Amino acid sequence: MERDWRDDRIEELEALVARLMRRVAELEAQLAQSSGNSSRPPSTDPPGAPPPSRPKRTGRRRGGQPGHEKHRRTLVPPEQVDKLQTCKPEACRRCGTALAGNDPDPHRHQVVEIPRAKATVEEFQLHALKCDRCGISTRATLPPGVPTSSFGPRLQALVAVLSGAYRLFKRAIDELVGDAFGVPIALGSVSNLEQATSEALAAPVEEIAQALPKESIVHMDETGWFEQSKRAWLWIAVTGRMALFAIRHSRGAHVAKELLGSAFSRILISDRWTAYAWVDTQRRQLCWAHLLRQFLGFQTHGAEASAIGRALELLTETMFHLWHRVRDGTMTRREFQKRMGPLRNYVIAHLREGAGCSLRAVAGRCREILELEPALWTFV
What is the mean pLDDT, run by run of 10 residues, along the chain of 380 residues? 69 80 74 68 65 60 67 88 95 94 94 89 95 95 92 94 92 94 92 93 94 96 88 95 95 96 94 95 95 92 91 95 94 95 96 93 94 96
Q: For residue 380, what are the contacts with CB-CB under 8 A and spacing of at least 6?
A: 336, 337, 340, 344
Task: Look at residue 146 in the predicted model and tell me its pLDDT.
Answer: 93
Task: Look at residue 190 in the predicted model and tell me its pLDDT.
Answer: 94
Least Cα distance to 161 among 182, 149, 147, 176 occurs for 176
Amino acid at residue number 372? L
Q: Is the pTM of this model over 0.85?
A: no
CA atoms within a 13 Å half-sphere pointing along the CA-CB vector of 286: 22
Task: Look at residue 46 in the predicted model and tell me its pLDDT.
Answer: 64
Task: Look at residue 75 in the predicted model and tell me its pLDDT.
Answer: 93
The neighbour count for residue 115, using CB atoms within 10 Å, is: 6
Task: Look at residue 91 in the predicted model and tell me its pLDDT.
Answer: 95
CA distance 299 to 373: 21
Task: Look at residue 8 in the predicted model and tell me its pLDDT.
Answer: 74
Give residue 326's Cα distance to chain centre: 24
CA distance 35 to 42: 5
* Number of residues that make up the chain: 380
Tell me 345's DSSP state: H
CA distance 296 to 290: 10
CA distance 156 to 54: 39
Return the C-alpha torsion angle 64, 65, 68, 69, nearest 10. 20
209 membership: H or E segment, kind and range? helix 187-211
Residue 240: helix, strand or coil by DSSP? Answer: coil
Task: Look at residue 217 in the predicted model and tell me its pLDDT.
Answer: 97
b vs e for 53-84, b when ≥16 Cβ sit within 10 Å of the residue's Cβ? eeeeeeeeeeeeeeeeeeeeeeeeeeeeeeee
Task: Look at residue 117 in the predicted model and tell me its pLDDT.
Answer: 85
